[in-house]
C-alpha cells in the first residue's frame, strides 16, 4: 500500500469540542492566515503501518558540543523511539508504545495546535511586525532549536478544499523566548503546545533501553 494512499485505518475526525478549541486558536492567529481563518473542523488520517513515521521531534541544545540532540519518533503502530545523547544519564535508544487512543490523542493535539497550518514565513512576518512596534531588540545565544515533523495520509482543514497528504517540517529557534516576547503571535504558542506534547514522549517512565 502506497505511503500517500488513504488507508483503512483510523479516521481522525476531530470532535466538536476539539474543533471549538481549534476555532479559538485560529481566532487569535497572526497575520494573513488570521484574516482568512474560519472555525472549521480539521479532519485527518494517518498510517498504522509500523514502518511509517507519523511524528518526530528533535531538540538541539546549542551549547552542547557534537551530535547531542534528543529525538522522539512515533510510528504508525504507536511505537515510540527516543534517543538521548551519549553524555546523558540514560544515553542511547529507548522505546515504548502508545496505545491507539494515546496515539490518536497525540496526533489530534498536533492538529488542533495547527501544526499542519504553521507557515514559518507568515509567523516570521508577524514577529517582525510586532518587533517593529518596539524600541528594544532581543537576542538569545545558545537557544534551543526544535524541529518537528508530521506525516498525515490525509488532511483537510477547509471542507471546500480536497484533502491531501501532509508532510510537515517545522523548525524554530528560541521558541520559548519568542513566545514570551511576542504574545500576540499565537501561532508560536500553538507550536509550543505541539512541542510540549511531543517532548513528553521523552519523559515517559515506561521507556526501556534498547541495546
Nine-digit cell string for 191: 507550536
Other C-beta atoms within 10 Å of 2: how many? 8
Stretch of residues binding another protein (CB under 8 A), selected from 18-26, 34-42, 100-108, 135-143: 135-143
70 binds another protein (CB under 8 A): yes
Stretch of residues binding another protein (CB under 8 A), selected from 21-29, 38-46, 102-110, 200-208: 200-208
Q: In the 8-state DSSP scheme, what is residue 187?
A: H
Stretch of residues binding another protein (CB under 8 A), selected from 10-18, 20-28, 30-38, 53-61: 53-61
Reduced to 3 states (helix: H, G, I; strand: E, B; else coil), residue 151 is strand
User: Which residue among 6, 19, 64, 129 contacts another protein (CB under 8 A)?
Assistant: 64
Q: Considering beta carbons, is residue 128 or 184 the nearer one to another protein?
A: 128
Q: Residue 10 CB, nearest distance to another protein (Å)? A: 19
User: Which residue among 38, 131, 158, 184 contacts another protein (CB under 8 A)?
Assistant: 131
59 binds another protein (CB under 8 A): yes
Judged by CB under 8 A, how many residues of this single chain contact another protein? Answer: 58
Q: How far is CA 58 from CA 61, 67, 70, 72, 147, in A?
A: 10, 12, 6, 7, 5
Residues 208 and 96 sit within 8 Å (Cβ to Cβ): yes
Who contacts 203 (Cβ-Cβ below 8 Å, separation ≥6)?
none
90 binds another protein (CB under 8 A): yes
25 binds another protein (CB under 8 A): no
Residues 146 and 57 sit within 8 Å (Cβ to Cβ): yes
Nine-digit cell string for 7: 488507508
In the chain the first and final C-alpha atoms are separated, in Å, by 31
Q: Summarize as ranges the residues that interact with another protein (CB under 8 A).
A: 3, 51-53, 59-68, 70, 82, 87-90, 120-121, 123-124, 127-128, 131, 135-145, 149, 151, 167, 169-174, 176-178, 181, 199-205
Amino acid at each position: 500500500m502506497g505511503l500517500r494512499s488513504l488507508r483503512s485505518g483510523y479516521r481522525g475526525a476531530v470532535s466538536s469540542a476539539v474543533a471549538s478549541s481549534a476555532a479559538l486558536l485560529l481566532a487569535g492567529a497572526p497575520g494573513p492566515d488570521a484574516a482568512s481563518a474560519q472555525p472549521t473542523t480539521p479532519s485527518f488520517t494517518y498510517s498504522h503501518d509500523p514502518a511509517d513515521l507519523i511524528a518526530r521531534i528533535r531538540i538541539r541544545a546549542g551549547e552542547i558540543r557534537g551530535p547531542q540532540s534528543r529525538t522522539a519518533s512515533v510510528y504508525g503502530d504507536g511505537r515510540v523511539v527516543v534517543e538521548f545523547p551519549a553524555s546523558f544519564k540514560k544515553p542511547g535508544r529507548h522505546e515504548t508504545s502508545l496505545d491507539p487512543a494515546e496515539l490518536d490523542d497525540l496526533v489530534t493535539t498536533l492538529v488542533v495546535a495547527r501544526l499542519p497550518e504553521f507557515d514559518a514565513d507568515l509567523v516570521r512576518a508577524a514577529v517582525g511586525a510586532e518587533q517593529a512596534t518596539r524600541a528594544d531588540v532581543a537576542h538569545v545565544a545558545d537557544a534551543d532549536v526544535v524541529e518537528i515533523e508530521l506525516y498525515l495520509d490525509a488532511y483537510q482543514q477547509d471542507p471546500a478544499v480536497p484533502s491531501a497528504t501532509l508532510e510537515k517540517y517545522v523548525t524554530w529557534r528560541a521558541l520559548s523566548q519568542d513566545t514570551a516576547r511576542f504574545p500576540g503571535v499565537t501561532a508560536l504558542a500553538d507550536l509550543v503546545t505541539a512541542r510540549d506534547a511531543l517532548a513528553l514522549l521523552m519523559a515517559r517512565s515506561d521507556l526501556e533501553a534498547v541495546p
